[in-house]
Amino acid sequence: MKTPLIDNLQYARFSPKIFEQMRAGGVDAVHVTIAYHESFREMVLNLEQWNRWFEAHPDLIFKGTSAACVRHAQETRRTAIFFGFQNPSPIEDDIGLVEICHQLGIRFMQLTYNNQSLLATGCYEAEDTGLTRMGKQVVAEMNRVGMVVDMSHSADRSTLEAIDHSSRPIAITHANPAWWHKALRNKSDDVLRALTEAGGMLGFSVYPHHLAGGSDCTLSSFCEMVEEAARRYGAAHLGIGTDLCQDQPDSIVEWMRVGRWSKVMDYGEGSASAPGFPQMPEWFVDNRDFENIRNGLLQTSLTEDEVCGIMGMNWLTFFENSFGAAP
């Protein structure tokens, strides 16, 4: 069977149009954000919406819960949708909700968004105190049930402690190396070495705030960065997590960055003059453009097998080892 194409992070304004574009682009699996700052009950409402989409568009998408779903997606020419949280808010202050959320189909959870959470410290905080007591217990519980620890928006000490404390490899699903583009959300060489040496995965983001040159970043620059990351960390630990926010209104940026914790806009990596979504690079606008990335990577020194791994096989292997209960 051919190599799967997996995008391990999107927060698009999903619609039949996007589902059709996934199929046109040959995307076999997508990890979608099901919650930013939602409570447990609010998250369940988002699950209800997805259930309606699964019912209405069974020829395009279905709910993914295991690695086998990726192969089933290939066999049936559909896209498997995997769920994740960008914030631990849906588990509230109840560790028992970790297992409940896994039973509902959640397979990824970030320990923080940009702020301090009950579990760890986000990358925008001035002081990083690492994993909290609850955070250490939640990581152990996520390991037990088969939910992936995601540290994409977390600060360095918290990320390093999560890597060390977790009994299973963790993921940074959508970020880039800080040595290529220095942004608060991108990850230091020390973090990426620790992540990959422990068997973890990095998903490269194409969100312009994470790219050298922003919206004007060239495909060759992006692919050369991936090539260098493969040299440093090993190609087997790399994948794609585009952070595609297609068709979202600019107003959703406020929900992403602020939630309910602030009365004022937190511009984060954006600017006060342009608080909305940045323009995507011309070589990646929607799910039909993955072939551009594949072709660009094939122009580097990476082998065809390494490129196939980055485009999906590495995530599939990670899924196989991550979504089931701990032995």
Dist CA 299 CA 269 (whole Å)? 31
Chain segment 5-21, per-residue pLDDT in tens: 999 999 999 999 999 99
pLDDT > 90: percent of the chain: 89
Report the pLDDT value the prediction gives residue 253, as an integer from 0 to 100.
74
Contact predicate 170/199, CB 8 Å: no
Q: Which of 231, 229, 250, 248 is nearest to 240 (CA)?
A: 229
Question: Domains in the chain and their CATH numbers?
Answer: 6-91+170-260+269-322 (3.20.20.140)
Report the pLDDT value the prediction gives residue 273, as an integer from 0 to 100.
43
Give the mean pLDDT of 243-260.
Answer: 81
Chain segment 125-146, per-residue pLDDT in tens: 999 999 999 999 999 999 999 9
pTM score: 0.95
Concatenated DSSP letters of 2-62? PPP-EEEEE-----HHHHHHHHHTT--EEEEEEESS--HHHHHHHHHHHHHHHHH-TTTEE
Q: Quick check: helix, strand or coil at residue 247?
A: coil
Report the pLDDT value the prediction gives residue 152, as an integer from 0 to 100.
98
> 10: which strand partners?
32, 244
Residue 268's pLDDT band (boundaries 50, 70, 90)? low
Dist CA 292 CA 284 (whole Å)? 7
CA dihedral 60, 74, 318, 230 (to 10 degrees): -100
Give the mean pLDDT of 96-118.
Answer: 97
Report the pLDDT value the prediction gives residue 237, as an integer from 0 to 100.
98
Q: At what angle do helices 40-56 and 96-103 cross, to 10 degrees?
A: 10
Tokens for 84? 């994740």
**pLDDT of 269 over the 60 cut:** no
Contact predicate 141/95, CB 8 Å: yes
Tokens for 316? 């599939």
**pLDDT of 271 over the 60 cut:** no
- State which amino acid sits at residue 284: F
Report the pLDDT value the prediction gives residue 272, as an integer from 0 to 100.
39
Dist CA 139 CA 123 (whole Å)? 18
Choose between 301 and 251: higher pLDDT.
301
Residue with tokens 């495909």: 219
Dist CA 326 CA 221 (whole Å)? 39
Tokens for 179? 């040595």
Tell me what the pLDDT averaged over the chain comes to: 94
Give the mean pLDDT of 291-295.
Answer: 98
Give the mean pLDDT of 31-59.
Answer: 97
Residue 274's pLDDT band (boundaries 50, 70, 90)? low
What is the CA 186 to chain-centroid distance, rounded?
A: 13
Give the mean pLDDT of 52-66.
Answer: 98
